[in-house]
Amino acid sequence: MHIGIAGVGLVGRVLALNLLRQGHTLTLFDEDTAYGDKAAGMTAAGMLAVFAELESAESAIFEHGQRSIALWPALLAQIGIEDAYSQEGSIITAHPQDYAELDHFIEALKSKVEEASEIELLDKAGITALEPDLEQHSRAFFIPQEGQVDAQRFMKATSDYLLSHPSVTWHQEIKVEEVKEGQICFAGVCETYDWVFDVRGLGAQDDMSDLRGVRGEVFWLDAPEVNISRPTRMLHPRYKIYIVPRPNNRYIIGATEIESEDKSPMSVRSSLELLSAVYSMHSGFAEARIINMVTNCRPTLKDNLPAIIQGEKLTCINGLYRHGYLLAPAIVEEALSKGILK
Ligand SMILES: Cc1cc2nc3c(=O)[nH]c(=O)nc-3n(C[C@H](O)[C@H](O)[C@H](O)COP(=O)(O)OP(=O)(O)OC[C@H]3O[C@@H](n4cnc5c(N)ncnc54)[C@H](O)[C@@H]3O)c2cc1C
């Protein structure tokens, strides 16, 4: 089939990799360049927090998350970056005055899915054995099944792969005006395909009335004095932060969650909260260098859950909210199983 895809963000790329494996020919459209940074998928930390996200999500997220974790290694192998995936578990901790909150958080997870019983309580010795740099903490939980995808490497490697693939035509910097049954319209013309996908994320707002953006801000820090190897969260009554390690002592610190579609630069309040929280986690961050501050919006539906909307020669996938990396492989698999490939 000749398939048109509107939007080459996270979902568009996962979709393209799946469709190419099945032998289809693809025409891709994005309003950004292939290496641009407009997609939320470019901003994401790439955490596969299948348990930690459960506190504020439904158990359907858990099932899709587990399926995605099984699918990620093959997707990354397809584009030659197997090492952009790691699954060495994650850590959740808190300051001593917030231990009740930490215990409550874990109890909430355990009440939602049976598998959460595998979450381990760590004392000071247990924390130090896993992450020596977090030795100042005396209570934490270890979630062995969680992992991460290096989101920025995934985005770059998919650009390289798709641009050089003989079955792909990629129209860059083309704003799609409308996606309808078997057609993608831009610059006043509509092109016809055997099937089309609308995966424009927040860009599909004109066609999905309950789609909203949820602002998220992250820091990138260069911290030679910090050696944390696993995604680590700190719970706090007002804000929750995470530290996601990348090679060469680089860390993503995030993320705010603000009901706003404003993509302007990070606010003073957010920067104070994120940086003071991360410094309180590890004093080695005091001398870290701020190498980037990024803002983007998560495409989110009313119920904060993803949706697959199937029409005649048209599939829309949207609403992946804060779970794009956690869910995209499984959601795409589900969409393809009920759509053109059934
Ligand atoms: C700060 C932050 C941190 C995050 N961290 C995580 C995380 O740790 N783990 C996780 O699982 N998820 C995370 N996410 C969520 C994840 O990034 C999103 O769920 C995911 O990117 C949504 O994918 P998408 O393809 O629907 O949208 P996007 O990735 O935004 O892609 C949409 C694409 O459509 C294009 N487009 C839009 N309108 C048009 C148009 N009219 N014409 C042509 N092209 C168009 C855009 O340019 C873009 O390339 C995070 C998000 C943010 C903002």
What's the half-sphere exposure (Cβ side, CA atoms, 13 Å) at 168?
25
Does 68 score more than 90 pLDDT?
yes
> pLDDT class for 57, splitting at 50, 70, 90?
confident
Please say whether the beta carbons of 159 and 39 come within 8 A.
no
Cα–Cα distances in Å, from 249 out to 97, 98, 110, 229, 337? 29, 28, 33, 9, 41
Residue whose Cα lies nearest atom 6 of ligand 1: it is 44
| Region 58-67 average pLDDT | 89
Going edge to edge, which strands form the sheet with 120-123?
A: 120-123, 139-143, 90-94, 232-235, 241-246, 250-254, 212-222, 289-300
Q: Give the Å distance between the CA of 2 and the centre of ligand 1.
A: 24
Q: Give the Å distance between the CA of 325 and the centre of ligand 1.
A: 9
| Region 51-70 average pLDDT | 87
Please say whether the beta carbons of 255 and 218 come within 8 A.
yes
Does 177 score more than 80 pLDDT?
yes
| Region 187-205 average pLDDT | 97
User: For the ranges 49-58, 80-89, 195-204, 271-280, which has the lowest average pLDDT?
Assistant: 49-58
| Region 197-215 average pLDDT | 96
| Region 148-154 average pLDDT | 98
What pLDDT score does 339 carry? 62
What pLDDT score does 340 carry? 61
Q: Give the Å distance between the CA of 13 and the centre of ligand 1.
A: 11
Residue whose Cα lies nearest atom 18 of ligand 1: it is 324
Does 237 score more than 80 pLDDT?
no
Cβ burial 39-71 (10 Å sphere, 16+ → b, else e):
bbbbbbbbbbbbbbbbeebeeebbebbbbbbeb
Q: Give the Å distance between the CA of 326 and the centre of ligand 1.
A: 12
Please tell me the pTM assigned to this model. 0.96
Q: Give the Å distance between the CA of 298 and the centre of ligand 1.
A: 6
Q: What is the token pair recorded at 305? A: 């859950």
Ligand 1 and 212: CB distance under 6 A:
no
Does 40 score more than 70 pLDDT?
yes
The three-class DSSP label of residue 237 is: coil
Q: Give the Å distance between the CA of 157 and the centre of ligand 1.
A: 16
What pLDDT score does 35 carry? 98
Q: Give the Å distance between the CA of 116 and the centre of ligand 1.
A: 28
Q: Mean pLDDT for the chain?
A: 95
Q: What is the pLDDT of residues 289-333, one digit of tens each?
A: 999 999 999 999 999 999 999 999 999 999 999 999 999 999 999
Q: How far apart are CA 115 and CA 113, in angstroms?
A: 5
Ligand 1 and 219: CB distance under 6 A:
no
User: For the ranges 49-53, 151-155, 189-193, which has the lowest average pLDDT?
Assistant: 49-53
What pLDDT score does 342 carry? 47
Cα torsion angle, 268, 278, 328, 191, sign = positive
Q: What is the pLDDT of residues 216-230, one digit of tens each?
A: 999 999 999 999 999
Residue of 5, 13, 28, 31 with the most ligand 1 atoms within 8 Å of its CB, for mutation = 31
Does 190 score more than 50 pLDDT?
yes
| Region 192-215 average pLDDT | 97
| Region 10-15 average pLDDT | 98
Residue whose Cα lies nearest atom 21 of ligand 1: it is 41
Does 196 score more than 60 pLDDT?
yes
Ligand 1 and 47: CB distance under 6 A:
yes
| Region 223-243 average pLDDT | 92
| Region 179-191 average pLDDT | 97
Q: Tell me the β-bridge partners of 147.
A: 48
Ligand 1 and 38: CB distance under 6 A:
yes
Ligand 1 and 104: CB distance under 6 A:
no
